[in-house]
Amino acid sequence: MPSVQFTRHLRVHFPNLEDVEVSEGSLARIVRDLDELYPGLADYLIDEQGALRKHVNIFVNDHLLSDRTGLRDEVGPLDRVFIMQALSGG
């Protein structure tokens, strides 16, 4: 099963957020599954059109996802997914 890890910054908004294993499939499916475990997480990650929000990045095995609009990137059983909040400022 693929593993999903989160940055500490996301835990500010979701204090019960823990690294988990999920079923393989598209990133869109994984986000839906994560939302069942952590209600509201999908709304934080995905906008109203189903695209990844600008302040969020998702990596699969150290590679930035390629489909930010539909999250169609496939995640296999041995893959690692890392979800992070993009930080900016000066």
pLDDT single digits (tens) 43-54: 999 999 999 999
Q: Which of 65, 60, 58, 56 is nearest to 80 (CA)?
A: 60
Percent of the chain scoring above 90 in pLDDT: 86
pLDDT in tens, 47-76: 999 999 999 999 999 999 999 999 999 999
pLDDT of residue 90: 55
Flag whether pLDDT at 89 surpasses 90: no
Distance CA 19, CA 6 (A): 6
Report DSSP state, residue 90.
-
Residue 37: C-alpha distances to residues 16, 86, 87 (Å) = 10, 22, 25
φ and ψ of 28, to 5 deg: -60, -45
Rounded CA-CA distance 44/56 in Å is 9
- Name all domains of the chain by residue range, CATH numbers in brackets: 3-85 (3.10.20.30)
